[in-house]
């Protein structure tokens, strides 16, 4: 019995996969122009190694894997700017969440009850918009970690390796990201 091999067919790539890859990239980087560039880069990179395509996976899986690597490159580039000011600013913004001496929530920043406590589907559309806006405001590195964890369901090890983080760094980011999102949601939900 022979295993049927998938043969790549570059002339059909745009029709068959471009929209899919575009949506995939856009969902992860939220930038139309950059998403477009990534689709093009993916196809060109794929062409260069099309003879190495072994047909072990489908064409789409193969192309998506190439795109995924390119997205991680974008994450890495964004979060390794010489001085990562966005993180400093975001950290500063939550400097007064907890009392420095005893780690208690401070009176001003302690979570309060707001709209999300009851799960109303009519509200969820509006809620999603606020949530998206709050995610956009996250520092680039935090957003990358958050997306890889929740959208791609990558393991902690993979994320640490690809973004060059220590595990303790990773956990601090997970914690701070959620503190930030929650505060942002409470602030903008009214």
Partner 1 sequence: MGQLKNIIHNCKQATFLIEKKLVDRLTFRETIELRIHLMGCSVCTLYNKQSRMIHEMVQQLFRSSVNSDMRLDDGFKKNLKERIEEELNKN
- Residues near partner 1, by CB under 8 A: 10-11, 13-15, 18-19, 22-24, 26-27, 36, 39-40, 43-44, 47, 97-98, 102-105, 110-114, 116-117, 119, 124, 127-128, 131-132, 146-147, 149-151, 156, 171, 174-175, 178-179, 181-182, 185
Write down the least CB distance from residue 146 to partner 1, Å. Answer: 8
Write down the least CB distance from residue 119 to partner 1, Å. Answer: 7
Q: What is the DSSP letter of 76?
A: H
Taking the least distance from each CB to partner 1, the nearer of 80 and 170 is 170
Task: Say how far apart CA 174 and CA 156 lie, in whole Å.
Answer: 11
Taking the least distance from each CB to partner 1, the nearer of 2 and 113 is 113
Write down the least CB distance from residue 62 to partner 1, Å. Answer: 16
Task: Say how far apart CA 79 and CA 101 lie, in whole Å.
Answer: 31
Write down the least CB distance from residue 55 to partner 1, Å. Answer: 19
Write down the least CB distance from residue 167 to partner 1, Å. Answer: 10
Residue 53: phi, psi to the nearest 5?
Answer: -65, 120
Query: Would you tell me the crossing angle of helices 59-79 and 32-48 to the nearest 10 degrees?
Result: 130
Taking the least distance from each CB to partner 1, the nearer of 55 and 111 is 111
The answer to whether the CB of 97 falls within 8 A of the CB of 106 is yes
Local structure of 98: helix, strand or coil: strand
Taking the least distance from each CB to partner 1, the nearer of 46 and 74 is 46
Task: Say how far apart CA 43 and CA 25 lie, in whole Å.
Answer: 13
Taking the least distance from each CB to partner 1, the nearer of 69 and 128 is 128
């Amino acid at each position: 019995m022979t295993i049927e091999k998938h043969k790549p067919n570059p002339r059909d790539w745009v029709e068959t996969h471009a929209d899919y890859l575009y949506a995939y990239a856009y969902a992860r980087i939220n930038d139309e122009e950059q998403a477009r560039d990534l689709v093009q880069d993916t196809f060109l990179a794929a062409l260069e190694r099309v003879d190495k395509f072994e047909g072990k996976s489908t064409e789409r899986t193969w192309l998506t894997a190439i795109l995924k690597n390119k997205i991680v490159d974008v994450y890495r580039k964004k979060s390794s700017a010489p001085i990562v000011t966005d993180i400093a600013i975001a950290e500063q913004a939550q400097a007064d969440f907890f009392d420095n001496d005893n780690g208690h929530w401070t009176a001003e920043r302690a979570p309060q009850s707001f709209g999300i406590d009851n799960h109303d589907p009519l509200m969820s559309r509006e809620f999603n918009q606020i949530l998206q806006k709050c995610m956009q405001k996250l520092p680039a590195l935090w957003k990358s970690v958050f997306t890889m964890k929740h959208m791609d369901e990558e393991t902690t090890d993979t994320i640490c390796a690809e973004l060059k983080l220590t595990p303790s760094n990773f956990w601090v980011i997970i914690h701070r990201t959620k503190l930030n999102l929650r505060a942002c949601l409470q602030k903008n939900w009214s």
